[in-house]
Chain A
């Protein structure tokens, strides 16, 4: 089955700086890579996703890049703000959507004022 590794487990950055979270996956058939943000006491919320036919996708301050050859994808957050503090999860599936998602272990992002 799919295995998703996520690094780092904790990331502390100064407000206004950029944050990068990296994930690798094992199943070459995976074709859908979402990123979720989970705030304390809440369920995960989709913030951006990318499919295997695209190398990069951007939405305001967040962007995701995908390297299919190396089987890794990354989340980039620019101009970080206090409300970006949360746990971020990457995931992968081979079904093109929400079915069969395998999640990473999460990154606790801390934005220092």
Chain B
């Protein structure tokens, strides 16, 4: 069974340019998360979706970050414009709905802003 799939694996862009990341969760998982992982740190939640609804986006910097999950399956996370400080790994995870659910993570997209 395929796990959480993210693309691209790596992305290098110049500052002020836009960038987008894509995530395909495990089939049947209603809950989808986007996490930010800075070097040497643990993941930090950016946004959580229940189906197509963003139910927790309190940590998403809305001035430059946006996300969508059309049809409640795949999701994209966009940054426009990117800043040097956005260089990090962006992780997508998914889980079944419910209080006893386990989160499964993708391999992440490593973003470098130069």
Contact = CB atoms under 8 A, between A and B. Distances in A.
Interface of A: 4, 6, 34, 36, 41-46, 49, 89, 91, 95-101, 103-106
Chain B interface, >50% SS class: loop
Contact of A98 (B4, B33, B91): B33
Interface string B42-60: 1111001000000010000
Contacts, number: 62
A29 to B, nearest CB: 13
B42 A91 contact: yes
Contacts of B26: none
A97 B102 CA distance: 6
Given A95-B99, A98-B31, A98-B95, A44 B40 contact: no
Contacts of B43: 44, 89, 101, 103
Given A43-B106, A101-B103, 15 more contacts: A34-B102, A36-B105, A41-B107, A43-B93, A49-B102, A89-B43, A96-B99, A96-B100, A97-B95, A98-B31, A98-B95, A99-B31, A99-B48, A101-B43, A105-B41
B95 A42 contact: no
B85 interface: no
Contacts of A96: 99-100
Contacts of A34: 102-103
Given A45-B105, A97-B100, A98-B101, A103 B91 contact: no
B102 A98 contact: yes
Nearest to B6: A43
B25 interface: no
B101 A44 contact: no
A105 B31 contact: no
Contacts of B106: 43
A100 B106 CA distance: 18
